[in-house]
Structure 1
Amino acid sequence: MNEALLARLNLLENKVRELVEKYKLIRQECAYLSEENLTLKETIKKQSLQLNNLENQYKISKLVASIAPDAESAAELREKIDAYITDIDRCIDFLSK
């Protein structure tokens, strides 16, 4: 009877060890996935900003093309509008913090 009890205890001990090892692996995987998730969120944020900037540049180009008749005044107008948008973006960023 003692041998059977010892065998069951050994089996239980082995199963607990296996569970602890699986738990450690899952925690490591969870930490890795959390870090990857943060990295991907940052990438998405940067890409969203880039997309927003490109959309603004496209809108500016369309606006300048419709307003300015010649290339020289169009370039000046584009620079002024870019500067205004940059200032507005800074203000929005400042106010959102």
Structure 2
Amino acid sequence: MATYRQAELKDTVSLMCSDDYKERFKAEYAQVAVRYQKLKAMLDKWDTGKLNFTPTCPRGVYNFQIRAMADYIASLEARAAIEDIEL
């Protein structure tokens, strides 16, 4: 996974509203990267017993979600390379 500067979802609003599909693509990538990083941080805390709440979903659901997100990020990175979009 490429290293993308740590952003917040609010930082992507102007890119999502752009008429330029490459800018919208960058926003899409940033959004999924932020969500992935936050979910990964939660799962890391869960694994180390430092999570401050009890999840309602089984761990397997979260594992499926984080794998799907990682695959989605990899797909976007492949597209970016092909379409010459600098992430």
Q: TM-score range by the shorter chain?
A: 0.3 to 0.5
TM-score relative to the length of structure 2: 0.38
> Higher helix fraction: Structure 1 or Structure 2?
1
| Structure 1 length-normalised TM | 0.35
Give the structure, 1 or 2, with the largest relative contact order (CA under 8 Å, sep 6 or more).
2
Task: Determine which structure has more spread, i.e. the larger CA radius of gyration.
Answer: 1
